[in-house]
């Protein structure tokens, strides 16, 4: 980690998300998603996955603290990143805990915020009894794929997300030992 990454990451506080965070998370999710998938998403997904749709989904996720652990990263009391981890949603994850969402504001990407979130989410999966972790990255999201490879993720396969608006092709990254992922993600 560079000096600038360390100083940016040191100004970040992580905390569990609460239902009152849903609107801010939905706004950030929409912003990061549109920035990331501008050239990848279908027109139907682009039009249908609105901030309002995301807000409804985040209210559901944040109301279900049993299935999901959701954390937010704050800088100067502003949410600048978030992530959720919990039970696997796809058979290809082979019983490993899943990091379902991990998004960081574009201005802070590459500054250690994602690493901090990934480390904390990995710890949450360990507390839930998982020995390994898996996640999916849309084919073409090369920045995310590089990030997970740097953390030691290995590609174990691909699947098509059956999403209602976008049947995206995804690469599955996995870690069989959470301790190794925690070590790699620890900034």
Q: Is the pLDDT of residue 37 over 80?
A: yes
Q: Is the pLDDT of residue 1 over 70?
A: no
What pLDDT does 166 receive? 86
3-class SS shares of the chain: helix, strand, coil, % to 5: 45, 25, 30
162-171: average pLDDT: 87
The DSSP annotation for 27-64 comes to: HHHHHHHHHHSTTTS-HHHHHHS-HHHHHHHHHHHHH-
What pLDDT does 4 receive? 41
- Cα separation, 40 vs 139, in Å, equals 9
What pLDDT does 187 receive? 63
Q: Comparing 2-16, 52-66, 122-136, which segment has the lowest mean pLDDT?
A: 2-16
Determine the structural domain holding residue 87 and report its residue range: 3-185
Q: How many domains does the chain have?
A: 1
Whether 13 and 113 have beta carbons less than 8 Å apart is answered as no
145-167: average pLDDT: 92
CATH number of residue 135's parent domain: 3.40.630.30
Q: Is the pLDDT of residue 9 over 60?
A: no
Average pLDDT, the chain: 91
Q: Comparing 38-47, 108-117, 151-160, which segment has the lowest mean pLDDT?
A: 38-47
13-35: average pLDDT: 96
Please tell me whether the overall predicted TM-score, pTM, comes out greater than 0.85 for this model: yes
Whether 64 and 19 have beta carbons less than 8 Å apart is answered as no
Who's near 15: CB < 8 A, 6+ residues apart?
71, 72, 74
Give the tens place of pLDDT for each residue, 52-111. 999 999 999 999 878 889 999 999 999 999 999 999 999 999 999 999 999 999 999 999
What pLDDT does 5 receive? 43
Q: Is the pLDDT of residue 123 over 60?
A: yes
In percent, how much of the chain has pLDDT > 70?
Answer: 94
**Which pLDDT band, with edges at 50, 70 and 90, does 3 fall under?**
very low
């Amino acid at each position: 980690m560079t000096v600038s990454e360390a100083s940016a990451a040191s100004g970040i506080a992580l905390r569990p998300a609460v239902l009152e965070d849903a609107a801010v998370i939905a706004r950030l999710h929409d912003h990061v998603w549109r920035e990331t998938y501008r050239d990848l998403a279908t027109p139907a997904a682009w039009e249908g996955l609105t901030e309002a749709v995301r807000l409804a989904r985040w209210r559901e996720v944040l109301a279900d603290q049993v299935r999901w652990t959701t954390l937010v990263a704050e800088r100067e009391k502003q949410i600048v990143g978030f992530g959720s981890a919990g039970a696997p949603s796809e058979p290809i994850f082979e019983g490993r805990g899943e990091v379902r969402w991990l998004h960081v504001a574009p201005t802070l990407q590459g500054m250690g915020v994602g690493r901090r979130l990934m480390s904390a989410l990995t710890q949450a999966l360990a507390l839930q009894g998982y020995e390994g972790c898996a996640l999916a990255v849309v084919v073409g999201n090369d920045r995310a794929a590089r990030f997970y490879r740097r953390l030691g993720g290995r590609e174990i396969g691909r699947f098509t997300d059956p999403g209602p608006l976008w049947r995206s092709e995804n690469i599955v990254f996995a870690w069989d030992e959470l301790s190794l992922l925690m070590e790699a993600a620890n900034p």
